[in-house]
Structure 1
Amino acid sequence: MQGQTLFLGFGSIQQAVTDARLWEPLIRLADYQSTPRTRSESLTFLTHDLQLDTASAEALVLLLESGRFLIPAQSYDPRDRYSRHALFYELSGEDSARVQKRLADSHVLLLGCGGIGNLVATTLATAGVGTLTLVDDDQVELSNLTRQFLFTEADVGQPKCEVLAREVTRRNSHCRVRAFTTAVTDRTDLAALAVSDLLVVSADSPGLTRLVNTHAVASGQEWLNVCYVNDIAVWGPLVIPGVTGCWDCQPLTAHPPHDDPDLAALIKRVNSRYQAPSNGPVNMVASALAALDVLRRLGGFGVPASLNRRVGVWSHELTLDEQPAERDPLCPTCARATPTATDPRATEGAR
């Protein structure tokens, strides 16, 4: 309670009850239901023990049911490693067992195993995603250790994807992890990689996002970009070919002027000397929110925040910046793309 308000739950399910006459019955009902009860038992408790009329009893039970304050008794098992996540899925109104099964059957390919790849891979594996494919051609450097937290000083000089695969497997031995120390420079390289349910791109090679987008639209591969822009944590758009906008539908990044080649060359030269700062906490914000969208998409609960938009969290002032990424029917890349997935999740939340 706060002031003259009783709060049922917090976060997305929070409801404020200002009618003081309902406070005690609701609290007593919540206490009664801390032991598994049927709906009929709850109604009897309210009408017989608390002497409420039938209509009021029905209204209170419905309030808890419709507000997702009640979950099936078997949904939470503290002996299950995913038990706390199960509560989160139930919070979203989904059956936790079905969500967990979807995740176990899912395959995510991570292109880039640095600061963002470290955190996304760990989050997905420990959440129960069944298969991860890790791709990166870099080796661990000492300067990586400020934000690539699964690497240690002893790993310096070792292939990033192999070290990350080792560490992810240590955290969930049920996750099937494959590592490929290879560069991706063209569509042939992309086509040679395993087909996955979702491709997460955090590598920062010039032109990579557009290359991945072209390949993804042509092949029906869903994908998500995750990055940072100085002190801005960025993720999205989540591209579902034939359903959402793609990377080329809307202008999402700046480009040198096409009508002034001399100025364009000068800009390219200046940019080539720039080393972008990379900060652990900013990486963590981008990774966490992107991983949550991946889990939402693959697990089929909630709506990914990055559908049809690119989102940035400005860490220095804690504001959100959104770039619309809706589908352009005249987009030269995806105008003719059609949905290829038969999974009903292909259209959930993308309208």
Structure 2
Amino acid sequence: MAPYVRVGFQDGTLFLGFGSIRRPVHDRALWEPLLRLADHFREARTQAQARSFLSGSCGMDAHRVEAVMRLLDDGNHLIPAHAYDPADRYSRHALFYELSGAAAVQVQLRLARARVVVLGCGGIGSLVATVLATAGVGALVLVDADHVELSNLTRQFLFTEADVGLPKTEVLARELRRRNRDCRALSVVRGVGDTDDLEHLPDCDLFVVSADSPGLTGVVNAHCVRSGTPWLNACYVNDIAVWGPLVVPGTTGCWDCRPLTAGPPEGEPGLARLVTGINSRYQAPSNGPVNMLASSLAALDVLRYLGGFGAPAALNRRMGVWSHDLSLDGQGAERDPACTTCAEAVPVREGVR
């Protein structure tokens, strides 16, 4: 029985497991056998031993035995005995992967072989990089031209007052190595403004883009579609934590398939000038908790994609959590067969290439 399986009663119902694996058991005749079996499973047992226990010690007929075993099998309640090693640094993540229905050992191997480029290492990028490095992603390429500023410290938690004035990527790489020496963190102190800049970066399995340079998402999208490299945008829109779409060239929609952001009106030059002028003074209100929402949910999708477990929430959609009322929103980003950017893109193999 997986260590994450808890049991309890509420409103006259036995619950076997909680969260996504929760199974309500209304049949009172199953309560005691289930609990006795769960207690029996505190030590590693085979399914054959479980069936024998139910039929022997609990006196259940074959039909009821199979009903109980189906309850356990259907919800990832049973895992291989070797899947959880408390001494392993990734042991708690292993339980999460098993909870999601994946083989933890295989997920960890895929993550260890992966290389991710993080474009922008500020409030979101630095946190995404931290999650990926500590989860066991094998290599991270950290790209940013900025240096640490005092105002960064409200939300960029791996930087300290002593780091003010130093290149962000160098400090971040140093801190990631301190947390996981097996993660190869490469610092690239440079901005990215065009395709040439991207082509000078190492090959990777996925780009995470959190830099806020105007037009960067379009440049990255074109480069990734052309090279067959998946990429994910993560950002915030004032108090909305935003991530997605996760673009998998040839499989999902790309950034150009659907209009995902507002801009100046086409064919209205006067209004366009006004919009551009007003927006030229815009300064985003960056807030630590909103940054953490966007970065954690984006990082989870990266781990799902690279590790091959679960379903990334941002496939074919751009997601947003409105922090003021905790509502969830999504913009469809399905593939447009007539998209001039990705119509001829060939599907890439999912996960680590």
Same fold (TM over 0.5): yes
Provide the rounded CA distance (Å) in 1 between the counterparts of 2:303 and 2:151: 30
| Equivalent residue in structure 2 for 1:12, among 15, 20, 36 | 20
Task: Indicate the residue corresponding to 2:321 in structure 1.
Answer: 313
Provide the rounded CA distance (Å) in 1 between the counterparts of 2:77 and 2:346: 39
Residues 1:302 and 2:307 aligned together: no
Residues 1:57 and 2:65 aligned together: yes
| Equivalent residue in structure 2 for 1:78, among 86, 100, 104 | 86
5+ residue gaps in structure 1? 347-351
Instruction: Identify if the C-alpha distance between structure 1 residues 254 and 319 changes in structure 2 by more than 3 Å, giving closer, same or farther.
Output: same
Instruction: Give 1:66 shift.
Output: 2.0
Decide whether the 8 Å contact of 2:205 with 2:351 is kept in 1: no
Provide the rounded CA distance (Å) in 2 between the counterparts of 1:163 and 1:234: 26
Task: Indicate the residue corresponding to 2:178 in structure 1.
Answer: 170
Instruction: Give 1:344 shift.
Output: 5.0
Instruction: Give 1:269 shift.
Output: 1.4
Task: Indicate the residue corresponding to 1:125 in structure 2.
Answer: 133
User: Which secondary structure state, in structure 1, belongs to the residue aligned with residue 246 of structure 2?
Assistant: strand
| Equivalent residue in structure 2 for 1:225, among 227, 233, 256 | 233
Residues 1:207 and 2:208 aligned together: no
Instruction: Give 1:58 shift.
Output: 2.0
Decide whether the 8 Å contact of 2:304 with 2:311 is kept in 1: yes
Instruction: Identify if the C-alpha distance between structure 1 residues 119 and 344 changes in structure 2 by more than 3 Å, giving closer, same or farther.
Output: closer
Decide whether the 8 Å contact of 2:13 with 2:26 is kept in 1: yes
CA offsets, 1:154-199, max 9 Å, x none?
0000000110000111100000010100011110001111110000
After the TM superposition, list the runs of 4 or more consecutive aligned residues in structure 1 that deviate by more than 6 angstroms.
Answer: none
Q: Matched residues, percent identical?
A: 65
Instruction: Give 1:62 shift.
Output: 2.3
Task: Indicate the residue corresponding to 2:246 in structure 1.
Answer: 238
Matches within 5 A, 1:185-204: 185-204=193-212
Instruction: Identify if the C-alpha distance between structure 1 residues 344 and 207 changes in structure 2 by more than 3 Å, giving closer, same or farther.
Output: closer
The residue type paired with residue 78 of structure 1 is P
Matches within 5 A, 1:273-284: 273-284=281-292
Instruction: Give 1:265 shift.
Output: 1.5
Provide the rounded CA distance (Å) in 2 between the counterparts of 1:265 and 1:184: 26
User: Which secondary structure state, in structure 2, belongs to the residue aligned with residue 193 of structure 1?
Assistant: coil
Residues 1:288 and 2:299 aligned together: no
Provide the rounded CA distance (Å) in 1 between the counterparts of 2:201 and 2:351: 23
The residue type paired with residue 99 of structure 1 is V
Task: Indicate the residue corresponding to 1:105 in structure 2.
Answer: 113
Task: Indicate the residue corresponding to 1:39 in structure 2.
Answer: 47
Residues 1:88 and 2:88 aligned together: no
Provide the rounded CA distance (Å) in 2 between the counterparts of 1:266 and 1:38: 70
Task: Indicate the residue corresponding to 1:249 in structure 2.
Answer: 257
Provide the rounded CA distance (Å) in 1 between the counterparts of 2:351 and 2:323: 32
Task: Indicate the residue corresponding to 1:141 in structure 2.
Answer: 149
The residue type paired with residue 192 of structure 2 is V
Provide the rounded CA distance (Å) in 1 between the counterparts of 2:223 and 2:325: 36
Decide whether the 8 Å contact of 2:137 with 2:183 is kept in 1: yes
The residue type paired with residue 181 of structure 2 is S
User: Which secondary structure state, in structure 2, belongs to the residue aligned with residue 115 of structure 1?
Assistant: coil
Q: How many residues align?
A: 345
Instruction: Give 1:345 shift.
Output: 4.2
5+ residue gaps in structure 2? 1-8
Decide whether the 8 Å contact of 2:305 with 2:350 is kept in 1: no
